[in-house]
Structure 1
Amino acid sequence: MSELFDRHQAVLPKWLAIYYSDPLEITHGEGRYVWGADGRRYLDFFGGILTTMTAHALPEVTKAIAEQAGKILHTSTVYLSRPMVELAEQVAELSGIPDARVFFTPSGTEANDAALLLATAYRGSNQILAMRNSYHGRSFSAVGITGNKGWAPTSLSPLKTLYVHGGMRSRGPFAHLPDDEFIAACVADLEDVLGQTRPGVAALIAEPVQGIGGFTSPPDGLYAAFREVLDRHGILWIADEVQTGWGRTGDHFWGWQAHAENGPPDLMTFAKGIGNGMSIGGVVARAEIMNCLDSNSISTFGGSPVTMAAGLANVAYLLENDLQGNARQVGGRLIERLRSGCAGLPGVREVRGRGLMIGIELVKPGTDEADPEGAAAVLEAAREGGLLIGKGGGHNTSALRVTPPLSLTQEEADEGAEILLRALGGG
């Protein structure tokens, strides 16, 4: 164990998850690669938990940060901020939500907190619908709507949460059904839940692709079908795009667009990739919802001039270089390479995902039982081969998570796939 890890353990909480039996200190990065204090170069297929969206040390972003830092670092929202207004204008337009208003926060957790505050205030109810196997952050209210027990350390909550089926396609009581019957069964479950609770539920919050849950997703159209039920009851739809947004899934700019028959969500949260490592989160909502609060508020660090400058430069690079298209093309080929390489491996239950958001679920060979020890072993073997990946999943952290920066080249995708397949025993 390193001297730095000893110091880490002495002053930081034991529940702060950290990877590897010999934890890694990353010292610098460039493009899709990072370097550790051990002197080794690693191909980064995790991007700081989906946060390094475009590239490490992207010149356009680092230049924007340096220039803004040379002017002023901080003002807070009690003053006008040109970078904040400009980024809010762009996010509002990109969101697809009509008459949109944007509130910036320092993280996705706070973004979801803000969305919950708005929805419950607007509807006058603390009842929230959430998906089983979901994850929405580490705060008290976000934990209260998280349907993944591995990331919910307490059952106490200011909210009454009702969990419904649908977020995980390949497990659960409806997994055996074809897509159309799966959607119908989940809608019937939603109707039943609503029939067993007091009227006036505030909102459904859902990740279009469940992130910490292992990159599981329902068939396209599930949330559109849910929306028909929600609209009849006046219930709002919050799309948690913290991990799915900004083109990562390739097919769509936002995950909700795979369920877009009834238009955009009422509220949408975002974070992670927009800042390319800088702390930006936020919620975007229709004006009538955003403006429903009847008391003052501020955001001390949300909308900071430096983070807003980073976000503007990062989104500009993303759009100008069609990184969504790159995620679709390179990610599509990467998924197929992993699927073909994993075919026949007894420990691989499923390779799933879209674009550059790929999950590999592991089970103990010959069973359908989750294999968290196997996932941890593959994580270690991939690192030894020079590749960094993540892990998650609703069944004891048994899914590998692959989320490189969206500028990944085909050559780098092939390199990473080869390392990962060797680590899985298929190389």
Structure 2
Amino acid sequence: MDQYIGPEEVLRKKREYLIPCVYHFYDQPMQLVRGEMQYLYDHTGKRYLDCFAGVSVVNCGHCNPDITKAICDQVTTLQHTCTIYLTQNIVNLAERLSQITPGRLQKSFFCSSGSEANEGAALLASIYTGNHEFISLRQGLHGRTKLGMSLTGLSLWRTDASPVGGISFASNAYCYRCPLGKQYPVCDLACADEIETVIKTATSGKVAAMFAEPIQGNGGMITPPLGYFKRVKQILEAYGILFIVDEVQTGFGRTGKMFAIEHYEVEPDIMTVAKALANGTPVGAFIAKPEIADKYTRPGASTLGGNPVTAAAALATLDVIANNDLPARAAALGAQLKAGLLALQERYPLIGDVRGLGLMLGAELVSADKSPASHELDTILEKLKDRGILVGKNGPNRNVLAFQPPLVITREDVDYLLNQLDDVLAEV
């Protein structure tokens, strides 16, 4: 263990050499040094059950041996060329994505992050429509670039003091705290209908696209009713507006289907992906219908996008997902976890709402007056960490426990998580 400098020295170097926006969880953080499938290990050898997966990234588990082998084999053969030369992995990956993405999505552009993917999707939408305005949802998160921040409906992540103009925000489908003061299903999806009002009153009418996450991860695991996106798509089509689905957090089996939008039976015009596509190797992509993609003809490139190593990692990841039917596994284990969380909700009023699909679940913590219980959540996170369990937090008030574990966890892992959470809630 002597090779590890320990958390105190890591924190010292972090303060001295990293820009302070790079924050971390926990009052007493640990130094993570190793990962193995659903587990992480700190510098003392302590094991943690990872229930956050690097924020929905390592769906196939940490250091999955099949993916690691594919990376090592490729990195010793051909590591980088850029897209100005022909290589095989990038076209095979694009072909594979066209086979598994919903509807007629067919042609891909590869980059290195979800932020870049959303930038590219916005550019493609403007090229295709000739329009330059966008619609986004409150509490959505679409990246850390200037445009991505401007499309983001969470003030926590809108660092830029001068955001891009021409972006209008509509109410999200937050049924627990309905922004319109209504109740589902008697509301008849009024939040979806509000998008038409936004088009008519807050835009010039020349809107290129609307961005939406099927489940708003950072926004607090906001999960719209199943009819929501069909209504949204009907409205957008009536005004000639493209529908861009951001699957950066929700994609690749996480919600019980390969892509979360499949639960809603809606065809995107453009889809963005990243994170779990290569199980931790930096990757991003936007995929479009051919008639939309074919309008982007001026020279374009991404220096590292779709490089041989990343593409090999992504192809191996897709093999692992398919060979182990991880979407079905996420559906079954997600049902187990959700049932357990709902049982805990009956016993602990601190849990105000449980929502999500598959293994992308959130438990919103509230005080007796329904105000956000942010302090209690931080206490719970710290106590779970001390017990060897890592859970996330999100939402505009940081009061939503986020459960996004690797999809390779077991039923026993879920029971262990629920039992430990039960004990911690009793303490709090």
Q: Secondary structure at the match of 2:24?
A: coil
The Cα offsets for residues 4-63 of structure 1, whole Å up to 9 and x where unpaired, read as: 111111111222121111222211111211101132100000111110111112111010
Q: How many residues align?
A: 421
Alpha-carbon distance, 1:331 to partner: 1.2
The code of the aligned residue for 2:116 comes to E
1:280-319 matches, cutoff 5 A: 280-319=283-322
1:189 aligns with 2:211: no
The code of the aligned residue for 2:407 comes to L
189-198 or 58-67: bigger deviation = 189-198
Alpha-carbon distance, 1:418 to partner: 1.5
Alpha-carbon distance, 1:175 to partner: 5.2
| Aligned counterpart for 1:165 among listed residues 167, 171, 174 | 171
- Distance, in Å, in 2 between the alignment partners of 1:147 and 1:134 is 5
Alpha-carbon distance, 1:169 to partner: 2.1
| Aligned counterpart for 2:371 among listed residues 369, 372, 381 | 369
Q: Secondary structure at the match of 1:359?
A: strand
Distance 1:23 1:303, change over 3 A: same
Distance 1:335 1:173, change over 3 A: same
Q: In the alignment, which residue of structure 2 is the partner of 1:409?
A: 410
The code of the aligned residue for 1:324 comes to P
| Aligned counterpart for 2:353 among listed residues 342, 350, 355 | 350
Q: In the alignment, which residue of structure 2 is the partner of 1:253?
A: 258
1:105-120 matches, cutoff 5 A: 105-120=111-126
Q: In the alignment, which residue of structure 1 is the partner of 2:390?
A: 388
Q: Secondary structure at the match of 1:202?
A: strand
Q: In the alignment, which residue of structure 1 is the partner of 2:34?
A: 28
Fraction of identical pairs, as percent: 34
The Cα offsets for residues 67-105 of structure 1, whole Å up to 9 and x where unpaired, read as: 001101111111112111111101111112326101111
Q: In the alignment, which residue of structure 2 is the partner of 1:75?
A: 81
1:231-246 matches, cutoff 5 A: 231-246=237-252
Alpha-carbon distance, 1:335 to partner: 0.9
- Distance, in Å, in 1 between the alignment partners of 2:294 and 2:111 is 16
The code of the aligned residue for 2:281 comes to M
Q: Secondary structure at the match of 1:225?
A: helix
Alpha-carbon distance, 1:124 to partner: 1.9
CA RMSD, Structure 1 to Structure 2 (Å): 1.6
- Distance, in Å, in 2 between the alignment partners of 1:345 and 1:243 is 29
Q: In the alignment, which residue of structure 1 is the partner of 2:71?
A: 65
Alpha-carbon distance, 1:426 to partner: 7.2
Q: Secondary structure at the match of 1:343?
A: helix
TM-score, normalised by the number of residues in structure 1: 0.95
The Cα offsets for residues 371-414 of structure 1, whole Å up to 9 and x where unpaired, read as: 221111111011011100111002x1111111111111101111
The code of the aligned residue for 1:424 comes to L
Q: In the alignment, which residue of structure 2 is the partner of 1:217?
A: 223
- Distance, in Å, in 1 between the alignment partners of 2:178 and 2:245 is 22
Please list every run of 5 or more consecutive structure 2 residues that lacks an aligned counterpart in the other structure.
1-6
1:332-351 matches, cutoff 5 A: 332-351=335-354
Distance 1:318 1:140, change over 3 A: same
The Cα offsets for residues 117-151 of structure 1, whole Å up to 9 and x where unpaired, read as: 11122222221110111111111100001001111
- Distance, in Å, in 2 between the alignment partners of 1:98 and 1:285 is 8
| Aligned counterpart for 1:202 among listed residues 199, 208, 215 | 208
Q: Is the CA contact 1:268–1:283 (under 8 Å) kept in the aligned structure 2? A: yes
The code of the aligned residue for 1:410 comes to R
- Distance, in Å, in 1 between the alignment partners of 2:360 and 2:426 is 22
Alpha-carbon distance, 1:275 to partner: 0.8
The code of the aligned residue for 1:400 comes to L
The code of the aligned residue for 2:393 comes to K
TM-score, normalised by the number of residues in structure 2: 0.95
Please list every run of 5 or more consecutive structure 1 residues that lacks an aligned counterpart in the other structure.
none
Q: Secondary structure at the match of 1:143?
A: helix
